[in-house]
């Protein structure tokens, strides 16, 4: 029997057709800064509108939320997640998103999955005025099972050098504010799958829970909340920003706290969403572990001086005052204290 690429699991005709579809989707996000090119290989972006530009970049994936998406057969929200979670990271430096690139790898060609992912990415990019400049779609038979795939994103933004948010000016007496999350976002799904025995019994995703008012699967696939448009008008008033992802409040907030300062967080100052309460109750997970793994209802933390709190709240009505910065830090004490 004659061997060819198709017999090895890759249909070049299908792949080329999908690449053309992807290119058409990506063109929907083009801004005047995107320069056309007859070839592929790389995207071209002309940087304009900044006096002293500093490029700000981030890359990340959506973790094992992929598995939930595959079981549910719903991928569009995952595409949104991929763009938004990366954008939120560069927002923490006060950046404006410029362009986004994606990487999708799979074993079996699935046009529904690929188009749904792309639609989600396009929707998120357009909502951020961010161009989807390029990407890679890799057909890799034997590396993943028929329903498995991998997904990664890379984003580049820009900030004026003298306006970068670093956290260096944070000092005792500053106020710590939180912006609510939209549920789990993209973190802690390995623990969630274990708590609800999803790998052994995927049908549990379709079970309706009265406290959620919908199925578990619907809750887990809620898209990651974007914070760029809420925060951008307040950049000049903000001393520090922390995107609360893996590591939770203790892990992420400590990364922006200057030496000698301590963040005191009042964990009773906001209502913890029902999904986190369910995970803790059903899985017998300690409060400490919950806060180390999940965002617990706070997706972004803002640190500012007391004088700026009122103005920032006018720009972001959903803000909640959740703590303050202290200088009473004992030797070897945690940089972030939850009370």
pLDDT digits (tens, 9 = 90+) for 67-106: 999 899 899 999 999 999 999 999 999 999 999 999 988 8
The dotted CATH code for 175-338 is 3.90.650.10
- CA-nearest of 46, 123, 130 to 95 is 130
Where are the chain's structural domains?
A: 6-161, 175-338
Find all residues with CB under 8 Å of 219, minimum gap 6, and list them. 183, 184, 209, 212, 275
Q: What's the predicted TM-score (pTM) here? A: 0.90
Burial of 189-209, coded b for 16+ CB within 10 Å and e otherwise, reads: bebbbebbebeeebeebeeee
Residue 78 CA to residue 144 CA, distance in Å, equals 18
Is 85 buried (19+), middle (13-18) or exposed (0-12) by CB count in 10 A? buried
- In whole angstroms, give the CA distance from residue 303 to residue 296: 18
Domain covering 6-161 in this structure, CATH number: 3.30.1330.10
pLDDT, one tens digit per residue, over 101-146 is: 999 888 877 888 888 999 999 999 999 999 998 888 887 777 777 7
Contact 94, 239 (CB under 8 A): no
Q: Are 123 and 25 in contact (CB under 8 A)?
A: no
Q: Are strands 96-106 and 131-139 parallel, antiparallel or unpaired?
A: parallel
From the first residue on, what is the mean pLDDT of each consecutive set of 10 residues in the chain (339 residues)? 54 62 76 74 86 95 92 92 97 96 86 89 95 84 78 95 94 96 94 95 92 93 95 96 93 91 93 95 95 96 95 94 85 78
Give residue 234's pLDDT.
Answer: 95
């Amino acid at each position: 029997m004659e061997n060819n690429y198709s017999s090895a699991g890759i249909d070049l005709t299908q792949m080329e057709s999908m690449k053309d579809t992807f290119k058409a989707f990506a063109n929907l996000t083009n801004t005047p800064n995107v320069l056309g090119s007859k070839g592929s290989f790389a995207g071209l972006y002309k940087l304009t509108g900044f006096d002293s530009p500093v490029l700000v970049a981030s890359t990340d994936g959506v973790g094992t939320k992929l598995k939930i998406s595959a079981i549910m057969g719903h991928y569009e929200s995952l595409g949104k997640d991929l763009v938004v979670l990366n954008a939120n990271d560069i927002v923490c430096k006060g950046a404006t998103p410029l362009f986004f690139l994606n990487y999708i790898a799979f074993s079996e060609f699935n046009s529904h999955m690929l188009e749904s992912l792309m639609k989600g990415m396009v929707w998120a990019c357009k909502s951020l005025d961010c161009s989807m400049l390029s990407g890679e779609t890799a057909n890799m038979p034997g590396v993943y099972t028929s329903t498995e795939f991998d997904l990664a994103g890379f984003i580049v933004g820009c900030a004026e050098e003298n306006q970068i948010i670093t956290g260096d000016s944070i000092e005792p007496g500053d106020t710590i504010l939180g912006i609510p999350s939209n549920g789990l976002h993209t973190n802690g799904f390995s623990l969630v799958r274990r708590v609800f025995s999803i790998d052994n019994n995927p049908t549990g995703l379709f079970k309706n829970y009265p406290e959620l008012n919908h199925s578990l699967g619907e809750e887990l696939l809620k898209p990651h909340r974007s914070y760029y448009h809420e925060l951008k008008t307040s950049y000049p008033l903000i001393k520090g920003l922390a995107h609360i992802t893996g590591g939770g409040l203790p892990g992420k907030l400590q990364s922006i706290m200057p030496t000698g300062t301590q963040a005191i967080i009042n964990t009773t100052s906001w209502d913890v969403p029902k999904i986190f309460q369910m995970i803790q109750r059903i899985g017998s997970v300690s409060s400490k572990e919950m806060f180390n793994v999940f965002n617990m209802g706070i997706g972004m933390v803002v640190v500012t001086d007391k004088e700026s709190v009122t103005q920032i709240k006018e720009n972001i009505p959903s803000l909640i005052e959740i703590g303050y910065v202290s200088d009473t830090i004992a030797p070897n004490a945690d940089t972030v204290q939850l009370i």
